[in-house]
Amino acid sequence: MTRRLRAKNSLGWAAETDGTTIGKASNRYGIMLKRAPGHKRGYYVYTAFPSP
């Protein structure tokens, strides 16, 4: 899932997947959800990260 913050400024810094380039992140971010049977909503946030 990818979303965008309403703020106009960057979320900070982000590295490319190969790890060789670091640049300013955008105001977009990704969230990875995991299923969790028995959890109140059925899932939880596994990780979240800024997008370049």
How high is the pLDDT of residue 49?
73
Would you give the DSSP letter of residue 19? S
pLDDT digits 0-9 by tens, 12-47 = 777 777 777 887 777 777 888 899 998 888 888 888
Ordered by start, the domain boundaries in the chain are 2-50
33/1 Cα distance (integer angstroms): 8
How high is the pLDDT of residue 1?
64
How high is the pLDDT of residue 5?
65
Nearest in space to 29 (alpha carbons), one of 12, 13, 51, 8:
51
More confident residue, 36 or 6: 36
Bridge partners of 48?
31
Residue carrying the six token digits 């960057």: 10
* Cβ atoms of 20 and 34 closer than 8 Å: no
How high is the pLDDT of residue 7?
67
Residue carrying the six token digits 């979240």: 48
How high is the pLDDT of residue 27?
77
